[in-house]
A and B are shown apart, each in its own frame.
Chain A
Amino acid sequence: MNRTLTLTQPAARSRPATFEELVETHYRQAYNIAYRMSGSATDAEDLTQEALIRAYQSFDRYQPELPFANWLYRIIANLHVDELRRRGRARVESMDACAALADIPDYSADPAGRVLSRELEGYLQQALDALSPNFRTAVVLCDIEGLSYEEIAEMMRCSIGTVRSRVHRGRKQMRRLLGVA
Chain B
Amino acid sequence: MNCGRVSNQLSAYIDRELTGTEMLQIRSHLSDCDPCRAEHEALCRVKMMLGRLRTAEPPPDSVAQTVRRFALCGVWPSPTTPGKKPILRGSDPSPRLPQALAGQRAPLALIRPGVIGAQRAVRRLLGLIPWQPLTVGLTTAALAAALICTSVVLHRPRHADTLVATKPVLVVQGQDPLNLQQLSDGAPGDSPPHDAFRDRLPDGQTSLPWVAVSLQGETSRPFR
Residues of chain A touching chain B, judged by Cβ–Cβ distance below 8 Å, are 7, 15-20, 22-24, 27-29, 31-32, 35-36, 41, 44-46, 48-50, 52-53, 56, 59-60, 62-64, 68, 104, 106-108, 113-116, 120-121, 124-125, 128, 139-140, 142-144, 146, 148-149, 160, 164, 167-168, 171-172, 174-175, 178, 180-181
Give the distance in Å from the alpha carbon of A41 to the alpha carbon of B59 in the complex: 9
A114 near B52 with CB under 8 A, answer yes
B55 interface residue per 8 A CB criterion:
yes
- B63 close to A59 (CB less than 8 A): no
Whether A168 lies near B82 (C-beta < 8 A) is no
Total interface residues on B, CB under 8 Å, equals: 50
Q: How far is the CA of A168 from the CA of B4 in the complex (A)?
A: 13
Interchain CB contact under 8 A, B54 and A63: no
Contact assessment for B48 and A107 in the assembled complex, using a CB-CB cutoff below 8 Å: yes
For residue A36, which residues in chain B have a CB less than 8 angstroms away from its CB? 53, 56
A149, B77: Cα distance in complex, Å:
37
* Contact residue among B45, B57, B81, B88 (Cβ-Cβ distance under 8 Å from A28): B57
Residue ID in chain B nearest A164 by CB atoms: B12
> Could you give, for residues 33-76 of chain B, a 1 whenever the CB lies within 8 Å of some chain A CB and a 0 otherwise?
00000100111111111111111111100110011011000010
Inter-chain contact A59/B11, CB cutoff 8 Å: no
Q: Which residue of A lies closest to B69 (CB)?
A: A49
Shortest beta-carbon distance from A158 to chain B in Å:
15
Q: Is the CB of A28 within 8 A of B82?
A: no
| Nearest B-chain residue to A16, judged by Cβ | B79
Q: What residue in chain B is nearest A22 (Cβ atoms)?
A: B86
Chain A residues closer than 8 Å to B155, beta-carbon distance: none
Candidates A59, A64, A124; contact of B50 at CB < 8 Å = A124
B103 touches A (CB below 8 Å): no
Whether A180 contacts B42 by the Cβ 8 Å rule is yes
User: Which 6 residue pairs across A and B have the least CB separation, nearest first?
Assistant: A19-B86, A64-B82, A35-B56, A168-B11, A143-B50, A16-B79
Q: Are B66 and A23 in contact (CB under 8 A)?
A: yes
Contact of B8 among A64, A106, A168 (CB under 8 A): A168
Closest to B13 in A: A168
Does B83 sit within 8 A of A, measured CB to CB?
A: yes
Q: Output the least CB separation between A83 and chain B (Å).
A: 13
Interface centre among B38, B56, B62, B66 (most CB of A within 10 A): B56
B10 within 8 A of A: yes
CA distance A143 to B84 in the complex (A): 33
Q: Could you give 22 example pairs across A and B, Cβ below 8 Å?
A: A17-B80, A18-B86, A20-B88, A27-B62, A27-B66, A28-B63, A52-B70, A56-B86, A59-B80, A60-B85, A107-B45, A107-B49, A107-B52, A113-B52, A116-B54, A121-B54, A143-B51, A167-B12, A168-B8, A175-B45, A175-B46, A181-B38
